[in-house]
């Protein structure tokens, strides 16, 4: 029996107390497994508390740049068993080195970055597309951001309204020439019966010799842009009808390839026909440049004086009505018009304001040169 005991002790590395050596070895192994470093070396380690178990894995990528201040950027994703949640965050710290939790290794430093734009509220404007705009007049942001008006409309007090030329008046959602429009003959809504024509605000059975019958309209083909020289022959927007022919609506020196152009501001005809500015350049006073001068500002591709520019009065994309003109950055009534109910009216043709605001012509009368006839 004694011989067998000595052989067993020799197998463990010698010594007369095999049980004590075995206990010491097991104790050292358990202590090593319990240390944090051993947890990392042993991926199967699970911490058990009572009847609950939690497994947490944290993946962190940290980069540090030294200098006058330390900057740490950390992206972390945390998953917890039971109710799972995933959090991704990128944090930039400029106050010093970050500290890490001893258990999870997660970065605890954080900063909050706030980006502010121009203070539009102080200007009584609204921030739209990164700039301050007056939503009461801007045709691209009328009444609110990204609320554009349709073609032929302007923005008035935050609402889109039809913009009629000075020789016509607004009848609902359309512009009408009360002298020759069969649907609005002499007055808005006064339509001629079938087979009748509107001539000088009166419904007649036939067109007078000076006019041509073009459908349901009596047209003066010598000067009618919709029926120029012939019924149905319309001139384009840059043309007018003169003596029955469509001609450019500008002086000969402003023509380029048969079209009217402003050589002082046209990037494709800058200073001369066919002279094109480079990408990123503007045409200012007939020369290609990258900057506006003389207190003008960039509106689209043009340098404009918002004090006098009709299409950008007081700010970009704020056109005045065709019956108005721009003075000092404000739209005012143009020559031949008068402000009636907040709108510049041509009192020479409007039967509701004939000659003066509120002077209404009687039924059957028309307004001509400011008088009811």
Buried b (16+ CB within 10 A) or exposed e, 200-238: ebebeeebeeebbebeebbbebbebbebbeeeebebeee
Q: Rg (Cα) of the chain, in Å, rounded? A: 42
Q: Is pLDDT at 86 greater than 60 in this prediction?
A: no
Which 8-state DSSP code applies to residue 85?
-
Give pTM, 2 decimals. 0.62
Closest CA to 188 of 78, 349, 359: 349
Rounded distance between C-alpha atoms, residue 179 and residue 204, angstroms: 12
Report pLDDT digits (tens) over 278-330.
998 999 999 999 988 888 999 988 899 999 999 999 999 999 999 999 999 99
With H, G, I as helix, E, B as strand and everything else as coil, classify residue 339.
Answer: strand
Report pLDDT digits (tens) over 132-180.
999 999 999 999 999 999 999 999 999 999 999 999 999 988 999 999 9
For 290-309, the DSSP string reads SS--TT-EEETTEEE-TTT-
C-beta neighbour count of 185 within 10 angstroms: 26
Report pLDDT digits (tens) over 185-224.
999 999 999 999 999 899 999 998 899 999 999 999 999 9
Take residue 39 and report the two structure tokens written for it: 């947890």
Which 8-state DSSP code applies to residue 361?
P
Q: Which of 20-24, 82-86, 229-233 has the highest mean pLDDT?
A: 229-233
C-beta neighbour count of 321 within 10 angstroms: 21
Rounded distance between C-alpha atoms, residue 186 and residue 176, angstroms: 10
Q: Where are the beta strands (DSSP E) in 104-211?
A: 126-128, 131-133, 153-156, 159-162, 169-171, 174-176, 197-199, 202-204
Between β-strands 367-368 and 371-372, what pairing exists: parallel, antiparallel or unpaired?
A: antiparallel
Take residue 340 and report the two structure tokens written for it: 């009636």
Long-range contacts of 47-51 (CB under 8 A, 24+ apart): none
pLDDT of 208 reads: 87
Rounded distance between C-alpha atoms, residue 249 and residue 258, angstroms: 11
pLDDT confidence bin for 116, thresholds 50/70/90:
low
Phi, psi of 343, rounded to the nearest 5 degrees: -125, 140
> What Cα–Cα distance (Å) separates residue 252 from each residue in 213, 228, 241, 245?
33, 21, 16, 16
Take residue 139 and report the two structure tokens written for it: 């045709």
Scanning the chain, the segments in alpha helix (DSSP H) are 2-11, 18-34, 36-41
């Amino acid at each position: 029996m004694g011989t067998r005991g000595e052989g067993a002790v020799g197998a463990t590395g010698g010594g007369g107390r095999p049980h004590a050596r075995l206990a010491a070895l097991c104790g050292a192994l358990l202590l090593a497994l319990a240390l944090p470093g051993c947890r990392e070396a042993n991926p199967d380690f699970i911490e058990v508390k009572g009847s609950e178990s939690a497994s947490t894995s944290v993946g962190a990528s940290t980069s540090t740049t030294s200098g006058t201040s330390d900057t740490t950027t950390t992206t972390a994703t945390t998953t917890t068993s039971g109710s799972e949640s995933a959090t991704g965050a990128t944090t930039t710290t400029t106050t010093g080195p970050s500290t890490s939790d001893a258990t999870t290794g997660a970065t605890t430093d954080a900063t909050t970055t706030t980006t502010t734009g121009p203070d539009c509220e102080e200007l009584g404007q609204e921030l739209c597309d990164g700039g301050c705009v007056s939503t009461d007049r801007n045709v691209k942001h009328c009444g609110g951001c990204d609320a554009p008006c349709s073609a032929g409309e302007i923005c008035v007090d935050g609402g889109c309204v039809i913009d009629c030329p000075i020789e016509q008046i607004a009848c609902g959602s359309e512009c009408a020439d009360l002298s020759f429009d069969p649907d609005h003959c002499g007055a808005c809504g006064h339509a001629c019966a079938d087979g009748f024509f509107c001539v000088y605000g009166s419904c007649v059975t036939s067109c007078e010799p000076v006019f041509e019958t073009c459908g349901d309209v009596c047209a003066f083909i010598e000067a009618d842009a919709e029926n120029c020289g012939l019924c149905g022959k319309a001139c384009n927007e840059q043309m007018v009808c003169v003596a029955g022919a469509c001609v450019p609506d500008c002086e000969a020196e402003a023509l380029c390839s048969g079209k009217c152009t402003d050589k002082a501001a046209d990037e494709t005809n800058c200073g001369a026909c066919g002279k094109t500015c480079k990408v990123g350049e503007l045409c200012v006073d007939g020369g290609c440049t990258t900057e506006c001068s003389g207190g003008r500002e960039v509106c689209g591709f043009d340098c404009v004086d918002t004090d006098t520019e009709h299409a950008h009065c007081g700010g970009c994309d704020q056109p005045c009505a065709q019956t108005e003109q721009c003075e000092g950055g404000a739209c005012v009534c143009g020559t031949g018009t008068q402000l009636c109910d907040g709108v510049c009216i041509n009192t020479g043709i409007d039967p509701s304001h004939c000659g003066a605001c509120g002077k209404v012509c009687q039924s059957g009368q028309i307004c001509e040169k400011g008088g009811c006839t």
